[in-house]
Chains A and B, each alone.
Chain A
Amino acid sequence: MDAIIILQAGVASGTVLLFATLGEILAERSGILNLGLEGMMLIGAMAAFSTALSTSSPWLGVLMAMLIAGLLSQVHALISIQFQADQVVSGLALTFLGTGLSLVFGEGLSKAGAISLLPSFSIPGLVSIPVLGPILFQDQSIMVYLGYLMIPLVWYYINRTRPGMHLRAVGEFPAAADALGINVARLRYFYVFVGGMFAGLAGATISLAVSPGWFSQLTTSGQGWIAIGLVIFAQWDPIRAAGGSYAFGALRRLILDIQGPTKLFGLRNPFYFNPYWGFFLQMLPYAFTIIVLIIGSREAIRKRLGAPAALGLPYIRGERGL
């Protein structure tokens, strides 16, 4: 039970949530709520593992995961943008579809042997920073470092660039964006696709780096839903999303590791001597998601923050929206 090791592994595990959350933020900022995250992550994890297995190249696996999850997301885009269907139901359908597809195509993958994983390495120099160095920069997967880069990039893109401004306009007030000549539908298709690619990246991060392998639905075990909760907690802000993701990653690791040692803080470790108490530990990430949502909702009420104004509403030109 070394705090540094737990946090180090927590950052890796939180990277999965980070990618999923960033992608969902981009899609939701454009006004499309995609509840299919769990299904897209699952099919990403399956595609990544399966491709890496047959081509022995984890990189092709990552690419394939992003592509397949991106394509799957377009089903949701088509239904919610073109067909103006309810995005909640469509997103649920996408989760069913993604789960079903990954189970059918992933049949037998769980028995597959070892594959080559994405590389892990330390960053020289940065690793010698006290405390933070070993947690953030020692022997981490390349995906973790990619995650660090993505946080400021996505934040900057949304808040400081012209395309980012268009993205926000489409999500907040599509009629005005349309009047300015922005193609609302095309941008929404695009950001749903980007969200899908991020979800695929999250899936690939699971199956090729953080907990390698294919374990059917247990591969993601509800992390897609936790990510959707985190987006609300984060108030659609990439930086808060990063904090939430890493915190949840650390929590997941803590739950795994707390049952190992016989002594905890010099006392008998109750979780070691009563292994069945582990079931209550298993509840914690889900219970915390609910708590985090309560915090997010209260804050939203107090500060009058909120979701992108057009989130979940189809845009029909000429109809009175909002």
Chain B
Amino acid sequence: MSLVGTSRSKFKFPYRFRVEPRLKQPGWLSAVISLGAVVLALIIGGVILLIVGGNPLRAYGFMAKAAFGDLGVISDTLTKATPLILVSLAAVIAFRMRLWNIGAEGQFFIGAFGASAVVLTPLLPPTTSPWLMIPAMVIAGMVTGAIWGFIPGFLKARLNVNEIITTLMMNYIAVAWNNFFIFAVWSEGGFQMTPQFPKSAWLPRLTDLSSQIPAFRGLTTHLGLVFGLIAAVVVWWILYRSRWGYEIRLIGDNPRAARYAGINIVRNTVLVMMLSGALAGLAGMAEISGVVHRLQGAISPGYGFTGIIIAWLSKLNPLLVVPISVLFGGLILAGREIQPSGLPMLIQGIILVCLIASDFLLRYRVRLTSRVEEA
């Protein structure tokens, strides 16, 4: 036995992997590695699909067609991308300061509630001009979202309460809060939904222009997409062109240096959480005013959580958030019709796992070296 043991320990694989820190990263590397991670994730997802008895190629082909096959579904994809852009921006601005706001889902729901309250309480009569109604709903959605972000932000800043748990708990509270209003207060004839909003509370859609441009008939893309694009530019400007953004980035990179530089971390924590909540709240407003046209329970297939993945995939770049949100919008759109129903969630999970694992390759290089050479 011992003989076998020694002979085995003497045998060495002639090559081995060496891991060494990268001294500098070429600019293209990050993009290539992220792309590789996504491709790898799709392959892994395909293998799992094979295991449960599906046909991955057909499933992916079907999803691509269902998301980008013709003008109509592209428009639907953009509609799905709209809330994603906004919640991803919410994640980006908070994550940049290393504030883990994973409560975008709850802020989305409560923003939808705030916007609905304007219409259903009603704070404004149904005959109000859309020029007043829509801005009022935008403000209400953003303010309620900001309040939902303020609570964990304040607790984090003042009492050092872990914001990951508080934002997550606030998600469940927001859903129960909305359900109370959907079931008990604003229920339409006992159904689990509120009455439909008056037309004045609808965000204009491309199809509304079909009398002038016939090609737009049936297209669901709504004004919320413009909100998302504006928000992306604004968040980019705040982060990279304003003094406030400099403070946010400095706190994120090196909180100790930021404190020595006299930056008010408490105030910034609260403000960033409120802005983050406001963006997610705006997403909720856009979704019910642009798509659902009433408040009901199932208004989000987990937008808030997908936003976290998009934020990470975009490397916290607000402008990159837009195209990536479109891709994920397609994934969610196509995923609705695909079996098993958990598949989009699974693919998102695998993408995120591959993505953070691949960051390692950004910081280190792995080389295959020959042992003979070393000796």
- Given contacts A84-B363, A222-B172, A276-B184, 4 further A-B pairs with CB under 8 A are A83-B356, A93-B352, A229-B169, A290-B169
Chain B residues whose CB sits within 8 angstroms of the CB of A92 once the complex forms: 102, 308, 352
Decide if B357 touches A83 in the complex (CB within 8 Å). Answer: yes
Given contacts A93-B352, A289-B169, contact A104 B360 (CB under 8 A): no
- Complex: chain B residue closest to A288, CB-CB: B169
Decide if A85 touches B342 in the complex (CB within 8 Å). Answer: no
B166 at the binding interface (Cβ < 8 Å):
yes
A88 at the binding interface (Cβ < 8 Å):
yes
Chain A residues whose CB sits within 8 angstroms of the CB of B172 once the complex forms: 221-222, 282-283, 286
Instruction: Give bound CA distance, A107 to B338, whole Å.
Output: 12
Chain B 168-185 per-residue mask, 1 if CB under 8 angstroms from chain A, else 0: 111011001101100110
B254 at the binding interface (Cβ < 8 Å):
no
Decide if B162 touches A103 in the complex (CB within 8 Å). Answer: no
Instruction: Give bound CA distance, A88 to B252, whole Å.
Output: 14
Given contacts A105-B52, A279-B183, A297-B162, contact A79 B346 (CB under 8 A): no
Given contacts A93-B349, A100-B342, A282-B176, contact A293 B166 (CB under 8 A): yes
Chain A positions 262-289 with a Cβ under 8 Å from a chain B Cβ: 274, 276-277, 279-280, 282-283, 286-287, 289
Shortest beta-carbon distance from A303 to chain B in Å: 13
A99 at the binding interface (Cβ < 8 Å):
yes
Chain B residues whose CB sits within 8 angstroms of the CB of A95 once the complex forms: 349
Shortest beta-carbon distance from A176 to chain B in Å: 23
Chain B residues whose CB sits within 8 angstroms of the CB of A83 once the complex forms: 356-357, 359-360
Instruction: Give bound CA distance, A293 to B126, whole Å.
Output: 43
Contact of A225 among B160, B168, B183, B343 (CB under 8 A): B168
Decide if A280 touches B180 in the complex (CB within 8 Å). Answer: yes
A141 at the binding interface (Cβ < 8 Å):
no
Instruction: Give bound CA distance, A100 to B338, whole Å.
Output: 14
A75 at the binding interface (Cβ < 8 Å):
yes
Decide if B176 touches A293 in the complex (CB within 8 Å). Answer: no
B340 at the binding interface (Cβ < 8 Å):
yes
Chain A residues whose CB sits within 8 angstroms of the CB of B216 once the complex forms: none
Contact of A101 among B177, B180, B349, B356 (CB under 8 A): B349
Decide if A297 touches B180 in the complex (CB within 8 Å). Answer: no
A90 at the binding interface (Cβ < 8 Å):
yes
A102 at the binding interface (Cβ < 8 Å):
yes
Given contacts A79-B356, A298-B159, contact A100 B345 (CB under 8 A): yes
A–B Cβ pairs within 8 angstroms, 7 of them: A88-B100, A89-B352, A93-B349, A96-B309, A104-B342, A225-B168, A282-B176
Decide if B48 touches A104 in the complex (CB within 8 Å). Answer: yes
Total A-B contacts with CB atoms under 8 angstroms apart: 149
Contact of A283 among B102, B173, B183 (CB under 8 A): B173
B165 at the binding interface (Cβ < 8 Å):
yes
B39 at the binding interface (Cβ < 8 Å):
no
Contact residues of A with B, CB < 8 Å?
35, 39, 75, 78-79, 82-86, 88-90, 92-107, 216, 221-222, 225-226, 228-229, 232, 274, 276-277, 279-280, 282-283, 286-287, 289-290, 293-294, 297-298, 300-301
Decide if A100 touches B349 in the complex (CB within 8 Å). Answer: yes
> Max chain B CB contacts within 10 Å: which of A101, A286, A289?
A286
B155 at the binding interface (Cβ < 8 Å):
yes
- Complex: chain A residue closest to B49, CB-CB: A104
Interface size band for B: 35 or more
Chain B 101-114 per-residue mask, 1 if CB under 8 angstroms from chain A, else 0: 01000000000000
B209 at the binding interface (Cβ < 8 Å):
no
Shortest beta-carbon distance from A54 to chain B in Å: 15
Given contacts A85-B356, A94-B353, A97-B346, contact A280 B340 (CB under 8 A): no
Contact of A280 among B155, B159, B176, B305 (CB under 8 A): B176
Decide if B349 touches A294 in the complex (CB within 8 Å). Answer: no
Instruction: Give bound CA distance, A85 to B348, whole Å.
Output: 18
Given contacts A100-B342, A279-B179, contact A107 B169 (CB under 8 A): no
- Complex: chain B residue closest to A274, CB-CB: B184
Decide if A107 touches B155 in the complex (CB within 8 Å). Answer: no
Instruction: Give bound CA distance, A96 to B339, whole Å.
Output: 18
Instruction: Give bound CA distance, A83 to B366, whole Å.
Output: 12
Chain A residues whose CB sits within 8 angstroms of the CB of B170 once the complex forms: 286, 290
> Max chain A CB contacts within 10 Å: which of B162, B165, B312, B340?
B165
Shortest beta-carbon distance from A243 to chain B in Å: 18
Contact of B165 among A86, A102, A104, A225 (CB under 8 A): A225
Chain B 304-334 per-residue mask, 1 if CB under 8 angstroms from chain A, else 0: 0100110010000000000000000000000
Decide if A107 touches B177 in the complex (CB within 8 Å). Answer: no
Chain B residues whose CB sits within 8 angstroms of the CB of A93 once the complex forms: 349, 352-353, 355-356
Instruction: Give bound CA distance, A84 to B362, whole Å.
Output: 12
Chain B residues whose CB sits within 8 angstroms of the CB of A88 once the complex forms: 100, 164
> Max chain B CB contacts within 10 Å: which of A92, A107, A300?
A92
Instruction: Give bound CA distance, A277 to B185, whole Å.
Output: 11
- Complex: chain B residue closest to A106, CB-CB: B342
B230 at the binding interface (Cβ < 8 Å):
no
Chain A residues whose CB sits within 8 angstroms of the CB of B308 once the complex forms: 92
Chain B positions 50-77 with a Cβ under 8 Å from a chain A Cβ: 52
Chain B residues whose CB sits within 8 angstroms of the CB of A90 once the complex forms: 353, 356
Contact of B159 among A75, A282, A297 (CB under 8 A): A297
Instruction: Give bound CA distance, A97 to B159, whole Å.
Output: 32
Decide if A85 touches B360 in the complex (CB within 8 Å). Answer: yes
B43 at the binding interface (Cβ < 8 Å):
no
Decide if A286 touches B173 in the complex (CB within 8 Å). Answer: yes
B47 at the binding interface (Cβ < 8 Å):
no
B347 at the binding interface (Cβ < 8 Å):
yes
Given contacts A89-B312, A107-B52, A294-B159, contact A79 B169 (CB under 8 A): no
- Complex: chain B residue closest to A79, CB-CB: B357
- Complex: chain B residue closest to A88, CB-CB: B100
Instruction: Give bound CA distance, A320 to B227, whole Å.
Output: 45
